[in-house]
Amino acid sequence: MKQLISEYALIGLGAIWIFFGSWILMGDFFQPPPVLIQWSTETEFETAGFNIYRSDQIDGEYEQVNVQLIPAQADAAAGATYTWEDTQAEAGKTYFYRLEDVEYNNARTRHEPFSHTSAAASPIKLIVAFSALIFGIALIFYGRIELRKKNRLQSSIITT
* CA Rg value for the chain: 28
- Please give the residue that has the higher pLDDT: either 30 or 150: 150
| Contact of 54 with 96, CB cutoff 8 Å | yes
Mean pLDDT of 47-57: 96
- Please give the residue that has the higher pLDDT: either 90 or 68: 68
pLDDT score of 80 more than 80: yes
- Please give the residue that has the higher pLDDT: either 126 or 17: 17
pLDDT score of 3 more than 60: no
State the average pLDDT for the chain: 86
Q: What superfamily does domain 35-117 belong to in CATH? A: Immunoglobulins (2.60.40.10)
Report d(CA 89, CA 48) in Å as an integer.
Answer: 26
AA identity, residue 12:
G
Q: For residue 62, what pLDDT is reported?
A: 97
CA 25 to chain centroid, in Å, comes to: 10
Q: For residue 67, what pLDDT is reported?
A: 94
Question: Checking DSSP bridges between strand 47-55 and strand 94-103, what pairing results, if any?
Answer: antiparallel
pLDDT tens-digit readout, 84-124: 999 888 877 899 999 999 999 999 999 999 998 877 667 78
pLDDT level of residue 1 (50, 70, 90 thresholds): very low
- The SS3 of residue 55 is strand
End-to-end CA distance of the chain: 20
Helix (H) or strand (E) holding 71: strand 70-71
- The SS3 of residue 128 is helix
